[in-house]
Amino acid sequence: MQRKYYTMKELKERILKEGHVITASNTVKVGSFLNHQLDPELLMHCAEEFVRLFKNQGINKILTIEASGIAPAILVGYLMKVPVVFIKKGKPKTVDASWESWVWSFTRADNTTVCIDRAYLTAEDKVLFIDDFLADGHASGCAIDLCRQSGAKLIGMGFLCEKGFAKGGQFLRDHGITYHALATITRLNPDNTMDVEG
């Protein structure tokens, strides 16, 4: 499947202006507007772009994972007028029957068991997965696994940012998953800056 880039100028400019590279861990810090402190207007514009990219595909549920994907996913769900389900880390006492998987967290550097209540992800669902970052594809793989278990049809995936030099994009292409990244970071530089392209 061919790689698709959909860079939003507004998002790209914010990443270049406010993003910071932590070279010791190859981490991109965008906490001032994306995944710690949030810019609701920017996130709404991103959500509008996801709706444009995935419209008319019968999507009836938005799926995301705790925690940074929740904000953009809710906005996409609001615009599409469909429920938003988030993959929970751990297994809460309030969840009885669940689909379970595990995910490796790049930022926390650990494996975590995750779950979705079986009532909220079923074979009747046509799902769009939304997340903030696509790096090595661990969260994406978890979502693929949970959809497979439940019988839900995964229509596609949308990411605010992709690390184009990481393994996640190739992982999704190898699995035949349609995905769109609104901004793609192609290189992390020694001076703590980055290159972003569309």
- 152-165 pLDDT, tens digit per residue, is 999 999 999 999 99
**Confidence bin at 95 (pLDDT 50/70/90):** confident
- Please say if the pLDDT value at position 1 is more than 80: no
Q: How many domains does the chain have?
A: 1
Is 40 a domain residue?
Answer: yes
- The two tokens of residue 146 are 């949970």
Q: Model-level pTM?
A: 0.91
Range of the domain at 127: 9-192
Q: Is 161 helix (H, G, I), strand (E, B) or coil?
A: strand
Residue 38 has a CB neighbour count (10 Å cut-off) of 15
**Rounded CA gap, 98 and 159, in Å?**
25
In sequence order, what are the beta bridge partners of 181? Answer: 5, 159
The two beta strands, 126-134 and 20-22, are unpaired
> Is 139 part of a structural domain of the chain?
yes
Q: Could you tell me if residue 2 is inside a domain?
A: no
Q: How much is the pLDDT for 157?
A: 98
pLDDT (0 to 100) of residue 108: 67
Domain membership flag for residue 69: yes
Residue 198's pLDDT is 57
Q: What are phi and psi of 194, to 5 degrees?
A: -145, 160
Does 60 reside within a domain? yes
The Cα–Cα gap between 179 and 175 comes to 11
In a domain, 198, yes or no: no
CB burial string 62-98: b at 16+ within 10 A, e below: bbbbeebbbbbbbbbbebbebebbbbbbeeeeebeeb
Q: What is the pLDDT of residues 102-142, one digit of tens each?
A: 887 666 677 889 999 999 999 999 999 999 999 999 999 99
Asked whether residue 182 is assigned to any structural domain, the reply reads: yes
Give the model's confidence band at 5: pLDDT under 50 very low, under 70 low, under 90 confident, else very high. Answer: very low
- pLDDT (mean) for 38-62: 95
What are the tens digits of pLDDT across the range 14-35? 999 998 888 777 788 888 898 8
- Domain with residue 107: its CATH number is 3.40.50.2020
In a domain, 1, yes or no: no
